[in-house]
Structure 1
Amino acid sequence: MEDLLTNPLIIAAIIGIISAIFGKKSKEEKQNSQKRKKPQHVQSASPQKKQSKEDAPAPIPNRMEQARREAEERRRETARNLKGLERDLAAAKQKTVYTKQKMLQVNKDTVVQGIVLGEVFGPPRAKKPHRTMRPARKN
């Protein structure tokens, strides 16, 4: 018996079992208290529902009229969305046309700059060495 109480693993297991037992009891107590509270909560919500029903506007007697109004609202909304999309598309097209025109402007300075950059970013000089006149003289 003394060996069991000196072993820390067995002590930890015993403590775990005891805490699990007491944990179950506390959970049951919480559930019981929640069950008791639920009917009170439901009763307090029902007067609010009654008030909201009284405040609600009277329904439109003619269903066809209501459906027509809803359809008209949806049509207006889609028309507004369509106009907005058309404006966005036109602006995007105009922007791309402007950038193309700007890029295609060629003058003397841009040509010179292109040649210089071609030399800078081209292959190194060691890959294409200068040709000297010596081999031509030997012949």
Structure 2
Amino acid sequence: MEFLLENPFILIALIAFISSFFKKKKEEKPVKQTPRSVQHEQRTQGEKTSADSALAETVKEEYRQQAEKARRIEEEYRQRKQQAEESMKALQNQRRAAERKASAITKTASNTNAGHPKEPSGAGNFELRKQSLVDGFIWSEILGPPRSKNPHRSLNRKQ
């Protein structure tokens, strides 16, 4: 007995023989049970066909719902696209009208300037704008006298 356990080749062969013996026993049992499993499969096939038909109907219904949803989305996309195109055309028309007005104004301005001699560069038209006033105050502070010549003392010092 010690000889069998000490020699690894004999030990491996013994394990293989025992495992194949148990495999043969397991294979014999399902063969005997196959007629029962065939009957059971025949019973379940009828159930499967009814389940398959119900599943097929639900799949078809889901497909129809998805197709309807896709059609609604396409229709909404077409409507939005049409609205965008219409608004784009309206904006283009407004731009063309503005360009026509601008060209008409420049033509009339060039016609009025052609009849009158040009004034010297320093005596142009004076237009009063808010931003130009702000810029003027800022430049007057920058270019004006230094603060040391015009100190702003607090009220406490004056008293």
TM-score normalised by length of structure 1: 0.38
Bigger-Rg structure (1/2): 2
